[in-house]
Amino acid sequence: MDILGVLLILLSLIGVIVGVVGLIKGSIKVLKIISRKQVGLLILACFILFIVGGAMISTGATDTPATVAGDVAKQVTDIDGAEETSSQTVKELEQEKALSTDGNGDVDEEPPASAPDVLATTTTVSRDLEVHFIDVGQADSILIKAPGGNMLIDAGNNGDADLITSYIKKQGVKTLDVVIGTHPHEDHIGSLDVVIDTFDIGKVYMPKVEHTTQTIEDVLLAIKNKGLKITAPVAGSTFNVGEVKCRILAPNSSKYDDLNNYSIVIKLEFGNTSFLFTGDAEKVSEDEMLQKHKDKLSSDVLKVGHHGSNSSTIQGFLDKVNPKYAVVMVGKNNSYEHPHKVVMNRLKEKGVTVYRTDENSTIVANSDGNNITFNTKPGSYLGSSSGGGTTGSIAPTTPAPNTKEPPNVTNNNRTVYWTPNGKSYHYTDKCSTLSRSKTILSGPLSSCPKSDPCDRCTY
């Protein structure tokens, strides 16, 4: 289209030059145009040609993807009929194509009123993306500053309101286009009410859970007072925050025994970089994601689930996410002894670079669409029995009095096994982690002094 347009424009320019010469000389004998009126008509015709040519070039340009890769990707997408875009590499699209032919039922449900997908037409980004993992101790709060929009995932404990709101203000953020309360535990939605009161808020995502606490009621009241509505997450759907594409990967069921598994899990894609935010999602939810969204899990940065607890980050899930970097949001010397050693070892064995709020305080990741950098040096792989980084002390045998998260609903009469100095309890005395233990104690779970289930035998 545009070659023809250029030709038309060239032709019209030549015509105008010939016409102007004709006007000066009175006529153009070569073309048998002998009156000034005919020369005028020639110039008018050339002008029309010029306009038509220009219009052809401009429509041609919008049809043409900016890059060769985009071109191929577009063709793949067309064959596929998928909603994927040239922002993804051809390889990824081919993988998706392969997966879709195995009858994988993972469908994107674009909310009808969502903003136009900016990444659909460009592989370059206008400005860097910043992901701030705000140090709120044993809790989560993550500010995402994207070109064209801001998002907050979780808002710490009730006592973190001043810290979080002043941090967000200091970043020059006045509007949070999307606010996500991953699940209704206090360490995730504690200060969400104050955040909603303080900033201009677009959409609020929270999972549908029948559960009531004062904290939840405060948040619901703040939402109501501001005339906002809660949007329930739909796994598989996507929405945009500025130039960032967000994909909801969990929850995938409507009912769970543990509140943590209601956690909204979000994958964020920016240029060629990606982040996975898992809230407190545990093995049950990770298994569902492995079944339903296995081709969408791969991410550069993983916000490690449930503060590094061994309830989460199972090997299969970690392998599929296959992150370069992991962020553990965890309080110094917290009563849960998060993060657990087994999780930190899994990250270490995979060579994942770890950042953790108990050692690094607030962590800021910066993405230019191709590379991710951090504002701080990596943290350690210390976990569990070493109290999240300090010197080894024997695990406390009684649960902390200010337990914020209810214990897992399990059968308290079940016989479990433990060792005097071990961290966890076991469902079987044949568990491989007990193979070298001389003293194995047993009794009903209700009288067991250990609060952590072993990640090998209690699943």
Nearer to Zn ion, 110 or 257 (CB): 257
**And the tokens for 14?**
């030549």
**In angstroms, what is the minimal distance from the CB of 190 to Zn ion?**
10
**DSSP string for 89-119:** -HHHHHHHHHHHHTT-----B--TTPPP-GG
- Residue 337 near Zn ion by CB under 5 A: no
Minimum CB–partner distance for residue 242 and Zn ion (Å)? 27
Least Å distance, CB 307 to Zn ion, is 6
Question: By C-beta, is 289 or 457 nearer to Zn ion?
Answer: 289
3-class secondary-structure state, position 74: helix
187/193 with CB nearer Zn ion: 187
Supply the DSSP symbol for 319.
H
CB 264 within 8 A of CB 182: yes
Axis crossing angle, helix 36-63 with helix 2-25, rounded to the nearest 10: 160
Where in 222-278 does DSSP place strands (E)? 230-231, 238-241, 244-250, 265-270, 273-277
Binding of Zn ion by 260 (CB under 5 A): yes
Which region among 106-114, 202-210, 255-263, 444-452 touches Zn ion (by CB under 5 A)? 255-263
Among 390, 335, 386, 330, which residue's Cα sits nearest to residue 357? 330
426 neighbors 416 (Cβ within 8 angstroms)? yes
Q: Which is nearer to Zn ion, 125 or 354 (CB)?
A: 354
- The residue (of 198 and 260) whose beta carbon lies closer to Zn ion is 260
How many Cβ atoms sit within 10 Å of the Cβ of residue 407? 10
* Binding span for Zn ion by CB under 5 A among 41-49, 76-84, 272-280, 326-334: 272-280
Which residues from 47-76 bind Zn ion, rule CB under 5 A? Answer: none
Q: Residue 152 in contact with residue 182, Cβ under 8 Å?
A: no
215 vs 260, which CB is nearer to Zn ion?
260
Give the DSSP letter of residue 449: S
In whole angstroms, the minimum distance from the beta carbon of 258 to Zn ion comes to 8
Report the residue from 135, 269, 280, 337 that binds Zn ion according to the rule CB under 5 A: 280
- Of the listed pieces 235-243, 252-260, 346-354, 361-369, which binds Zn ion according to CB under 5 A? 252-260
* Separation between Cα atoms, residue 153 and residue 133, nearest integer Å: 10
Q: Looking only at residues 405 through 434 of this chain, which bind Zn ion when binding is defined by CB under 5 A?
A: 405
Which residues are CB-neighbours of 396 under 8 A, at least 6 positions away? 335
How many residues bind Zn ion, per CB under 5 A?
A: 5
Shortest reach from residue 286's CB to Zn ion, in Å: 14
Q: CB neighbours (10 Å) of residue 217?
A: 11
Binding to Zn ion (CB under 5 A) within 203-232 occurs at none
Chain centroid offset of residue 243 CA: 13
Residues 371-410, one symbol each (x = binds Zn ion by CB under 5 A, - = not), give ----------------------------------x-----
Query: What six digits make up the tokens of 329?
Result: 């949001």
Tokens of residue 118, six digits? 């900016």
Q: Which value, to the nearest 10 degrees, does the dihedral of the CA atoms of residues 309, 315, 316, 319 take? A: 110
**Letter for the amino acid at 9?**
I
The phi, psi pair for 409, rounded to 5°, reads: -80, 105
Torsion of CA 282, 284, 287, 292, to 10 degrees: -110
**Shortest reach from residue 253's CB to Zn ion, in Å:** 17
In angstroms, what is the minimal distance from the CB of 180 to Zn ion? 14
| Nearest approach, Cβ of residue 287 and Zn ion (Å) | 18
- Contact map string, positions 129 to 168, toward Zn ion, x by CB under 5 A: ----------------------------------------
Residue 286's CB is within 10 A of a number of other CB atoms, namely 25
Interaction of residue 283 with Zn ion, rule CB under 5 A? no
Q: Residue 84 or 288: which CB sits closer to Zn ion? A: 288
Our CB check for Zn ion shows the closer of 260 and 357 to be 260
Q: Which residues 175-194 are close enough to bind Zn ion by CB under 5 A?
A: 185, 187
Beta strands 415-418 and 325-328, pairing class: unpaired
Cβ proximity to Zn ion: between 187 and 359 the closer is 187
As measured in angstroms, the least distance from the Cβ of 274 to Zn ion is 23
Q: Tell me the closest approach of the beta carbon of residue 155 to Zn ion, in angstroms.
A: 12
- For residue 405, the minimal CB distance to Zn ion (Å) is 5
Binding site for Zn ion (CB under 5 A): 185, 187, 260, 280, 405
